[in-house]
Amino acid sequence: MKVKGKVFRYLDNVDTDVIIPARYLNTSDPKELASHCMEDIDADFIKNVKEGDIIVAQKNFGCGSSREHAPLAIKSAGISCVIAASFARIFYRNSINIGLPILECEEAVKGIKSGDIVSVDFESGKITNETTKESYYAQPFPPFIQKMIEAEGLVNYMAQEIQK
């Protein structure tokens, strides 16, 4: 599976409260959640984001709350992949569970700027900055995680596996 998109770049410690503020958590509708994604630190995000775009951030992305609404909002906003130097633990788990691909790669984070076009190959873990023509390698997902992402999350994946 490969994705390609324009980069929205953020700094350290982007927390779940700014990804989706609690005032909107009285719903779990992904589209409604997406319409408020990142608004407290980047009011233009939702206006500018297009299907397939990529978030790149520094360390500890997704720190804070266990709300699965955070990766849901990002995914529903059209983001195809999040690349960060490191992820907070619960966010990492939640993202895989709902089928949002996320990659840890400090080198890529250093070499990518906002607005760059980046492509990612999940099979090999290769991240290419199409704007600068530089490539980086993240630890690729093992096959079952790749399948989980393709199935749009853990529950669908488990259901498929059970039916086999």
Partner 1 sequence: MSMTMSQKILASCAKVEKVEAGQLIMADLDLVLGNDITAPVAIKEFAKFGVKDVFDNKKVALVPDHFTPNKDIKAAQQCKILREFAHEKEIENYFEIGQMGIEHALLPEQGLVNAGDLIIGADSHTCTYGALGAFSTGVGSTDMAAAMASGKGWFKVPSALKFNLTGKLSKWVSGKDVILHIIGMIGVDGALYKSMEFCGEGVKNLSIDDRFTICNMAIEAGAKNGIFGVDEITLEYLKEHHKGTPKIFEADSDAVYEKVYEIDLSKIRPTVAYPHLPENTKTIDEVEKIEIDQVVIGSCTNGRISDLRVAAKILKNKKVNPKVRTIIFPATQKIYLQALKEGLLEIFVEAGAVVSTPTCGPCLGGHMGILADKERAVATTNRNFVGRMGHPGSEVYLASPAVAAASALTGYITNPETV
155 is a contact residue toward partner 1 (CB under 8 A): yes
Span of 100-108, 110-118, 128-136, 156-164 interacting with partner 1 by CB under 8 A = 156-164
**Smallest distance from partner 1 to CB 73, Å:** 12
Q: Where are the alpha helices (DSSP H) in the chain?
A: 16-19, 30-34, 45-48, 69-76, 89-98, 106-111, 143-150, 154-163
Nearer to partner 1, 123 or 152 (CB): 152
**Smallest distance from partner 1 to CB 128, Å:** 28
Span of 44-52, 82-90, 115-123, 127-135 interacting with partner 1 by CB under 8 A = 82-90
Cα separation, 21 vs 37, in Å, equals 8
Nearest Cα neighbor of 77 from 135, 19, 27, 131 is 19
* Binding residues with partner 1: total (CB under 8 A): 37
Nearer to partner 1, 13 or 135 (CB): 13
For residue 69, count other CB atoms closer than 10 A to its CB: 27
The one among 27, 48, 114, 132 contacting partner 1 by CB under 8 A? 27
The one among 7, 63, 81, 127 contacting partner 1 by CB under 8 A? 63
* DSSP secondary structure string for all residues of 22-57: GGGTT---HHHHHTTTTTTT-TTHHHH--TT-EEEE
